[in-house]
A and B are shown apart, each in its own frame.
Chain A
């Protein structure tokens, strides 16, 4: 946490920008270590829940029963948009620097969707049901951002 002396007065009150920053390094545990290690190697894996549903990204614990999940399912890099929203003006830290879609995407063979970005360029090129494909990040660090975003399947038009 660091202050700055770039203060100003507003209605006779001292105000200043204040940045609060925490450089967290998190241990992700056994299951997510495997997930992020394979993601770094462009390999997509989910886990199967007690009701048979396949979670991607994997659930560590069954959302229904709380049991630790250990059945891995390899998945392809294609999927379907189940809902979406349009980010007209991207913000710091988001996957793309130009306008893009956010979407919940169910990978083929999975049942529970992942939130990620779709590089659709224009909002009229995406809809619920649109088919998409993983675009891998050039530099992969073992993290959800190793998936740079999703591309429209069939390529840009």
Chain B
């Protein structure tokens, strides 16, 4: 049984905002129209639509139902939704394309991360009996992981600050992100702790955003893009939810997903890693075996723009664009989900 060749053929990302006054539908509709226009096709050419979002971000139960307004479900369309980052919607679309039922799919995601208390909302991902009633918040859990890594010697404060410095530098060249401050590594290291041992620059900036990606199979992909970003391997793995029952100083799920996606088979030019905290980028690089020759997060990454539930799909858009432009031949896109890198999705794409 052979797999179909499937590629990303177009992307669109909405510039990041804080406290956006647009509704989720208003964020999505122009973004979806933009990607259709870029690829040069109509709504009616899309065989399958898949959406990633989270009701808790939108502040509206069943918000994904009204989000269908942004794509126009008339005549009725084939649509699906994952209550997760859009990267997982992309995985579902890839599977749908593999079935051979459709040749073109559109994946979209949105996150209104700043309209509610994001740190408190993400707490709701934790064990509802043992952890959530204490309301530790997302930053606290990551701070526990960061200290474990620091004390084990897996990362250093300076390495973490270097990740932040590089992300802020590269983010300033990316009009889609909110530019960070321009501080040197030493200046970053002199900043106060927010949740000791994390400083503000160690934590991703929550933003509101939306994005959309078009996938196509075989000849359709060659027709729709000059240089499609062919998906050569894609896999996702999850660790136990139980805090403390898995290692705090490594990510075994990221390591397995990377191995299954074929990361180590050849050199990776660009890796777009979805790391909401600086130490997590360092853990991911180790887990995936990425070398110094790989350019990490030329977009600035999620640290400088983290639209929750869209930040993972944004990594796919950024990685694919570097293939489209010819600036990279073999790229990696990654998405994480849950506290402390609980779940990891890894995809390797190549130009031809």
Name the CB-closest residue of A to B60: A20
| Complex alpha-carbon distance, A117 and B193, angstroms | 18
Beyond A55-B245, A59-B242, is A15–B21 a contact (Cβ under 8 Å)? yes
Which residues of chain B (42-89) have a CB below 8 Å from chain A? Answer: 59-61
A115 contacts B120, C-beta separation under 8 Å: no
Interface residue B147 (Cβ < 8 Å from any Cβ of A) = yes
Beyond A10-B21, A63-B240, A63-B242, is A85–B129 a contact (Cβ under 8 Å)? no
Q: Which of B21, B133, B151, B242 contacts A83 (CB 8 A)?
A: B151
Interface residue B225 (Cβ < 8 Å from any Cβ of A) = no
Interface residue A50 (Cβ < 8 Å from any Cβ of B) = no
Name the CB-closest residue of A to B240: A63
B148 neighbours in A (Cβ, 8 Å): 82-83
B137 contacts A84, C-beta separation under 8 Å: no
A20 neighbours in B (Cβ, 8 Å): 59-61
A102 neighbours in B (Cβ, 8 Å): 136, 140, 143-144
Contact with B along A108-144 (1 / 0, CB 8 A): 0000111111000001000010000000000000011
Contact with A along B117-149 (1 / 0, CB 8 A): 000100000001111011111001101111110
A85 contacts B144, C-beta separation under 8 Å: yes
B245 neighbours in A (Cβ, 8 Å): 55, 59, 63, 112
What size tier do the contact residues of chain B reach?
35 or more
A115 contacts B243, C-beta separation under 8 Å: yes
A112 neighbours in B (Cβ, 8 Å): 242, 244-245
Expressed in whole angstroms, the minimum distance between the Cβ of A3 and any Cβ of chain B is 11
B130 contacts A57, C-beta separation under 8 Å: yes
Expressed in whole angstroms, the minimum distance between the Cβ of A24 and any Cβ of chain B is 8
A84 contacts B144, C-beta separation under 8 Å: yes
Contact with B along A71-114 (1 / 0, CB 8 A): 00000000000111111100111110000001110100000111
Task: Select the residue from A10, A32, A59, A84 with max chain B CB neighbours within 10 A.
Answer: A84
| Complex alpha-carbon distance, A115 and B127, angstroms | 11
Q: Which of A1, A55, A117, A128 contacts B147 (CB 8 A)?
A: A128
Task: Select the residue from B120, B147, B193, B198 with max chain A CB neighbours within 10 A.
Answer: B147
Interface residue B30 (Cβ < 8 Å from any Cβ of A) = no
Interface residue A67 (Cβ < 8 Å from any Cβ of B) = no
B141 neighbours in A (Cβ, 8 Å): 115
Q: Which of A28, A93, A123 contacts B129 (CB 8 A)?
A: A28
Expressed in whole angstroms, the minimum distance between the Cβ of A151 and any Cβ of chain B is 16
Interface residue B18 (Cβ < 8 Å from any Cβ of A) = no
Name the CB-closest residue of B to A95: B134
| Complex alpha-carbon distance, A55 and B246, angstroms | 12
Name the CB-closest residue of B to A117: B134
A26 neighbours in B (Cβ, 8 Å): 128-129
Interface residue A153 (Cβ < 8 Å from any Cβ of B) = no
Q: Which of B137, B196, B244, B248 contacts A123 (CB 8 A)?
A: B196
A115 contacts B136, C-beta separation under 8 Å: yes
| Complex alpha-carbon distance, A87 and B140, angstroms | 8
B195 contacts A145, C-beta separation under 8 Å: no
Interface residue A156 (Cβ < 8 Å from any Cβ of B) = no
Interface residue A11 (Cβ < 8 Å from any Cβ of B) = yes
Beyond A85-B196, A112-B245, A115-B243, is A144–B134 a contact (Cβ under 8 Å)? yes
Contact with B along A43-61 (1 / 0, CB 8 A): 0000000000001010100
| Complex alpha-carbon distance, A26 and B133, angstroms | 12
Interface residue B233 (Cβ < 8 Å from any Cβ of A) = no
Interface residue B15 (Cβ < 8 Å from any Cβ of A) = no
Chain B interface residues toward A at CB < 8 A: 19, 21, 59-61, 120, 128-131, 133-137, 140-141, 143-148, 151, 193-198, 240, 242-245, 248
Q: List 7 A-B contacts (CB under 8 A).
A: A59-B242, A63-B240, A83-B248, A86-B143, A87-B195, A91-B135, A144-B131
4 additional contacts (CB under 8 A) given A26-B128, A63-B240: A63-B245, A85-B146, A92-B135, A117-B134
Which 5 residue pairs of A and B lie closest in terms of their CB atoms, listed nearest first? A85-B143, A86-B196, A13-B21, A93-B135, A113-B244
